[in-house]
Amino acid sequence: MKIRNWIALLTLFVSSFFLSTLAYSATVKVPETVKQGGIYVVGFAGDENISHVRGVFGKKNVHFNPTPYPGTYSALFGVDVAEEVGPELFRVVVTTKDGLVYLVDKEIMVAEADFGVQRIRVPKKWVNYDSETEKRIQLETERIDEVLRGKTEVRLWNTPFIRPAAGRISAGFGLKRYINGIFTNTHSGIDIVAYLGTPVLSANSGVVQFVEETFIWGKIVIVDHGQGLFSTYCHLSKILVEVGEAVESGHEIGLVGGTGRVTGVHLHYGITLNSNVVNPLEAEKISLDKNCCIFISR
């Protein structure tokens, strides 16, 4: 690889990464430490004999994109809000044009993020479900998880992520939730307070992959932005899109409501990346430079 390509790659990333050269003469740039709920960029520089690069972080697939510089790739990856704290393996699987496969392993330290605690009280019917409701919740959760595993290999967005509705955030991302005094879950998104019927906009361009009225999430829309990145909009009063519909950034996909398990009218907005639940506010830091290389501005 030409020296100017190396220099070009090095300028693509802005934060504190560490470098190491490997036997396979490849360089992987990973963040030394990541936080629960965060979104990060990984850079890979090999040679021009590579046919394909993919990554695995915490058993979940990471999509690498070639950059304009031959032999170099970059990828976005998410750290789940409940990711175990401590060292985690980031594996890069390199396939060469000769069909050889190389594994390049790096260790990333996962640090705890303290998002705080929220205690809420809801009517008993929202926590003590009959077996039929339990079954419904389980099936709906499984179907949503299946959608979020993602099959779209290409990136469907090229502008920054926007906030889907204006308003105060009444419950932040990652709150440890105690419902009626019992630890129930970790808040998987942000709650935006808005009037009933306020338009909900798609955070970026993509394809609608899930539209339904579910028990917990009420009327929900899931938009696929490609390569394992999804945005989710819950408790809508009205859904304005259909499965399979392509949407642009800012497309009106529904109206704010109070359907499902809620204590009031609001928009629950979530982002998942590689099936990891990440902070939607982190998605707003993702950008593309003039060469369409992804970077995070922190």
Chain positions contacting Zn ion, by CB under 5 A: 191, 268
Nearer to Zn ion, 190 or 294 (CB): 190
DSSP 118-141: EEE---GGGTS--HHHHHHHHHHH
Q: How far is the CB of 259 from Zn ion (least distance, A)?
A: 13
**Residue 189: CB minimum distance to Zn ion, A:** 5
* Residues 6+ positions from 11 with CB-CB distance below 8 Å: none
Cβ-proximal residues to 119 (8 Å cutoff; 6+ apart), any chain: 177, 178, 181
Find the angle CA(81)-CA(82)-CA(87) to the nearest 5 degrees.
Answer: 100
Only one residue has tokens 């999804």, namely: 230
Provide the 3-class DSSP secondary structure of residue 183: strand
Helix (H) or strand (E) holding 38: none
* C-beta of 150 vs 270, nearer to Zn ion: 270
CB of 266 to Zn ion, least distance (A): 7
Inter-residue contact 278 to 37 (CB < 8 Å) = yes
Rounded Cα distance between 220 and 241, Å, is 11
Q: In terms of CB distance, is 191 or 224 closer to Zn ion? A: 191
Name which of 225 and 268 has its Cβ closer to Zn ion.
268
Using the minimum distance from each CB to Zn ion, give the nearer residue, 205 or 276. Answer: 276
Distance CA 15, CA 12 (A): 10
The closest residue (CB) to Zn ion is: 268
User: Which one, 121 or 135, has the nearer CB to Zn ion?
Assistant: 121
The helix or strand, by DSSP H or E, that contains position 178, with its residue range, turns out to be strand 176-179
Task: Report in angstroms how near the CB of residue 20 gets to Zn ion at its nearest.
Answer: 40
Minimum Å gap between C-beta 254 and Zn ion is: 15
Instruction: Kindly state the smallest distance separating residue 285's Cβ from Zn ion, in Å.
Output: 21
Question: For residue 261, how many other CB atoms are within 10 A of its CB?
Answer: 19
- Lookup result for tokens 């590689």: 274
Least separation in angstroms between residue 170's CB and Zn ion is 9
Helix or strand holding residue 206 (H, E) = strand 206-214
In the complex with Zn ion, which residue's Cβ is closer, 53 or 175? Answer: 175
